[in-house]
Amino acid sequence: MAPGIVEKGINFVRKQQSPFKVNMAKNIVQNFSLGLTQQYQSIYITALGATALELGYVASIGGIAFALITLPIGILADKYGIRRILMAALLIMAGGYAVLGSATNWEMTAAALILTTIAWEMTMNVCPMICGASLQSFERVTGMQLCDTVAALPRLFAPLVAAFLIIQFGGLTVEGIRPLYWIEVGGILISFGIVWRFFTNPPSVSGSRGITISKGVGRVFKEGIHVKRWLAYVLANMLPNYMAIYIPLYAKTMRGADPYSLGLMDAVYWLIVVLFAMPVGLSADRFGRKNLIMLMCPLYAVGLMVLAYVPGDMTLIAVGFLTGFIQLAGVTSGSISVELVPKELLGSWYGIIGMARSLSSIVSPLIGGIIWNSLGPIYVLYFLAITQILKLGILWTMPKSTKYS
């Protein structure tokens, strides 16, 4: 069975347009680089002196910065093309991680996260635009999940490589984690080189210079389908992303997890993406995207309760396994976003979605920090579990297909 799936995946990629293939290659290098520090970043910032609430402040600052530019980025992608946005994002990202690698106090990390958050959200805006423009509707979820599968492969190894290096450099301390950021900068610059040398804009989003911010936004709300309702879903859908900083911090603080336990938890999370992305994509295209999301989000909630109540280091593997399904649900949700507006408005639409994400990125870490400090760490897990179940009520009201499919 596995060889058959691999062969189907290879054949699928071969028949796709060049932008899809190059973006996948860029994501492989970028994801390995980001995977080196993601699981340890909250620990690094608190080791520099930040409290849980200050950690929330730091994470929120990047969201505020991105909120100011997210709509222009979407319009610029429509107007000047995806390639320029991707290259700018990767250079900004490299600069942000260089600042993190140089930080001597937690306040410096705030400036770094402004840059990395802006850069990450820029790539988040244009990545689904590439799939939306390059893939047909009937194969879109499969293609997006396949891209995530291949790009997630390095994330299986990056946390464990990072754990080994952290131990060599001195453990879960500032000096033990700091060198990883400089390795990360090098990987991101390689990603930039891939885009600069090989990427070309998909034809339908290569530039539409007649679109302005006001026209693009106005047309999205006029011609789009249930876009306001979907934006409410997006706000709730992004909570696990922007409150994820508290998960490894909880595991270390409340469960006493060591570098390898944290790395293994993250590796298993991405293993689920690799193992199930293609089956989920094929099932979603066949049985319905909403149905698959309805099944996967409760598994994430169960994973959080395992982290809260089931003792033992080995249970962290189960936590990684169960919470990994939220990533698959997110990609499947993204395939719905693509079909709610005309293709020529994808940049404007993802600019608006970026605004919703930026609002979530501002509020979510602060909510997490306040809950952690005032009610206790376990209530952060409760909050995440409850919101991910409640958002399914919004999803249920969305149409299964649209005229833009």
* Distance of alpha carbon 189 from alpha carbon 90, whole angstroms: 7
Are 336 and 112 in contact by the 8 Å Cβ rule? The answer is no
Are 224 and 52 in contact by the 8 Å Cβ rule? The answer is no
192 is in which domain, residue-wise?
18-198+209-396
Alpha-helical segments (H) within 288-405: 289-309, 315-323, 325-338, 346-374, 377-390, 392-396
* Distance of alpha carbon 32 from alpha carbon 119, whole angstroms: 16
* Distance of alpha carbon 250 from alpha carbon 265, whole angstroms: 13
Largest CA distance in the chain: 59
Tell me if 234 is assigned to some domain: yes
Tell me if 13 is assigned to some domain: no
Are 345 and 223 in contact by the 8 Å Cβ rule? The answer is yes
Tell me if 203 is assigned to some domain: no
Here the CATH number for the domain that contains residue 62 is: 1.20.1250.20
* Distance of alpha carbon 105 from alpha carbon 317, whole angstroms: 32
Tell me if 404 is assigned to some domain: no
Calculate ∠ Cα 337-149-345, nearest 5°. 25
Tell me if 11 is assigned to some domain: no
Tell me if 3 is assigned to some domain: no
Q: Which residue has the tokens 């047309």?
A: 219
Walk along the chain (405 residues) and give the pLDDT tens digit of each residue.
455 556 666 666 666 667 777 888 898 999 899 999 988 998 999 999 998 888 888 888 877 777 777 667 766 776 777 888 889 999 999 999 999 999 999 999 988 988 998 888 788 777 767 776 666 656 666 677 677 777 778 888 898 999 999 999 988 899 999 999 999 999 999 999 999 988 887 765 544 555 555 666 778 888 778 888 888 888 888 888 888 889 999 998 898 888 888 889 988 998 888 888 778 877 776 777 788 888 899 999 999 999 999 888 788 999 999 999 998 888 788 778 877 887 777 777 877 887 788 788 888 888 999 999 999 999 999 999 999 888 888 888 877 665 545
> pTM value?
0.73
Instruction: Give the closest residue to 398 by CA, choosing from 240, 235, 288.
Output: 288
Tell me if 63 is assigned to some domain: yes
Structural domain count, the chain? 1
Tell me if 291 is assigned to some domain: yes
- The pLDDT assigned to 294 comes to 87
